Amino acid sequence: MSAVREHFGSRLGFILAAAGSAVGIGNLVAFPVAATKSGGGAFLLVYALFVFLICLPVMMAELALGRRSDRDPVGAYRQLSGGSHLWRIPGWLALITPFMIAIFYLVVTVWILGYLIGTLRGNLDQLATEAYFLQFINSPVVFFYLVLLMFGINGILALGVKDGIERAAKTLMPMLFVMLLGLVIFVLTRENAALGLKYYLIPDFAKLNGEVVSKAMAQAFFSLSLGMGIMITYGSYMKKQDSVPGSARAVAITDTLVAFTAGLLILPSVFHFNPQIDPAELSDSSAGMIFLFLPKIFLALQDSVGYAGASAVAAVFFFLVLVAAVTSLVSIIEVPLATLRDEYCMSRKKAIYTVGLVQFVLAIGCAVSFGMADWLTQFVQLAGENKSFFDLVEIIFYDTILPLNGLLVCLFVIYKWKKINFDQELQIGDPGFAGSLSQKYINFSLGTFIPLILLLIFINTVALKFF
Ligand code: PFF
């Protein structure tokens, strides 16, 4: 174990760092599009219910595990299970999952960085052509941007929890809020903006079905950075006297507000570009929207604000997404670093080199699996379809293992670590919590229907993606 454990310097620092983790590419693009295509306000309502009734208790469970054990996920499960061999498995899963999710997320972030630089160099007109994307992701410059990005992220991590992660969150998150609000105000004053709001906000309950509901659940779970060991690790850096429920609520509210606000940006822009558009045509994937669709929208702004103005708006947008992605990557890469430090007594520096090197090699594997390397492009056959190495990492670790990890957290906290210990941890800094309705709800739900819902999502994904 490392000699002195680092901690966040303040409650606000923790909240901003955890919100930085939660606010990511998913919030800014995938969420608004999913909402618009799946019932507008009706989706928003279902999503909010999932965030506050299902995901929030899981977040509290993860934070409590980390704070009580003062350890990384592997150490937390080992210590709080009293050394059980069986319960080591979820600990290792909560390490491998973030390690691998970071790989494909790094690649997408590299593309964002490339698009930001492209826009700043005055190439928005090129970015707005679909052919550009394929050409860009298959060009060697991607490796250069990967090195640049990894240096930046690991540079923040090298400074430690308080001077690195917390300080970066305190600078970047307010910047993100300001850029987001600025862009929202700009697009809301464009022509036809209200049309977009109509699709985004007016509820259409007829669109809600099993698939939409499970999509909302998966989106909420991913958005709050659950099942990735992140909240266990950040929980271990929380101050001992801070309230876990209060801080978790603040993180969930911030994340949801940012996702909601992003909708006020994306949808009005789409409808300003083309008032006749059918929202069903919008791409489900964040990457499809960010790289193939949105650049066209930004370019079209040149009619009202000129080419330079349109490029400036696009640059602010790509920078906004980059900031959101970087603060998420910082949190996810911190998980394996914490394990190497806590379990293998490595120095932070040595851990950064070790993790960074392996992730660099794997990220290259993902980056070249779009055509540059044939065998990685057609890596495996799943459910009768050819999948690339990138797809495989995403399907296994993001789609499938995430809900499984969440399920294991719930079972562990309630049935192995035991409610009484969990309750004690939640009451610190929040004396009113003991005996409250909220406490009863959290205990009951985490031991019953939340793991059941996560189990159903897990089974459904396995059936859908692998067979
Ligand atoms: N909440 C993040 C998002 O919505 O993008 C989830 C996440 C993904 C966190 C990848 C960290 C990360 F590296």
CATH of the domain at 216: 1.10.4160.10
Residues with CB under 6 A from ligand 1: 21-22, 24-27, 101-102, 105, 222-223, 225, 328-329, 331-332
User: Which atom of ligand 1 is nearest the CA belonging to 331?
Assistant: 11
- State yes or no: ipTM above 0.90: yes
Q: Give a yes or no: residue 430 inside a domain.
A: yes
Q: Give a yes or no: residue 94 inside a domain.
A: yes
Cα(328)–Cα(232) distance, rounded to whole angstroms? 15
- Mean pLDDT, the chain, whole residue set: 95
What's the structural domain count of the chain?
1
Q: Give a yes or no: residue 233 inside a domain.
A: yes
With the most atoms of ligand 1 within 8 angstroms of its CB, the residue from 225, 251, 255, 327 to mutate is 225
Residue 19 has pLDDT above 90, yes or no: yes
Q: Give a yes or no: residue 4 inside a domain.
A: no
Q: Which domain holds residue 194?
A: 11-466
Q: Give a yes or no: residue 276 inside a domain.
A: yes
Q: What is the per-residue pLDDT across 161-215, written as a single tens digit (0 to 9) for each?
A: 999 999 999 999 999 999 999 999 999 999 999 999 999 999 999 999 988 998 8
Looking at 274-388, list the stretches that DSSP marks H as alpha helix, in order from N- to C-terminal side.
Answer: 286-287, 294-300, 302-344, 348-367, 374-377
213 Cα to the center of ligand 1, angstroms: 20
Q: What is the per-residue pLDDT across 88-146, written as a single tens digit (0 to 9) for each?
A: 999 999 999 999 999 999 999 999 999 999 999 999 999 999 899 999 999 999 999 99
305 Cα to the center of ligand 1, angstroms: 33
With the most atoms of ligand 1 within 8 angstroms of its CB, the residue from 109, 328, 399 to mutate is 328
Cα(189)–Cα(209) distance, rounded to whole angstroms? 34
Nearest-CA residue for ligand 1 atom 5 is 24
Q: Give a yes or no: residue 1 inside a domain.
A: no
**For residue 40, which of 288, 261, 252, 279 has the smallest C-alpha distance?**
279
Q: Give a yes or no: residue 5 inside a domain.
A: no
Rounded alpha-carbon distances, angstroms, from residue 413 to 29, 73, 382, 402:
33, 13, 34, 17
Cα(16)–Cα(157) distance, rounded to whole angstroms? 16
Q: What is the per-residue pLDDT across 247-257, written as a single tens digit (0 to 9) for each?
A: 999 999 999 99
Q: Which residue has the higher pLDDT, 24 or 466?
A: 24
331 Cα to the center of ligand 1, angstroms: 9
Rounded alpha-carbon distances, angstroms, from residue 147 to 110, 118, 360:
9, 17, 8
- Please state the φ and ψ torsions of residue 336, each to the nearest 5 degrees: -60, -30
- pLDDT-based confidence at 286, cuts 50/70/90? confident
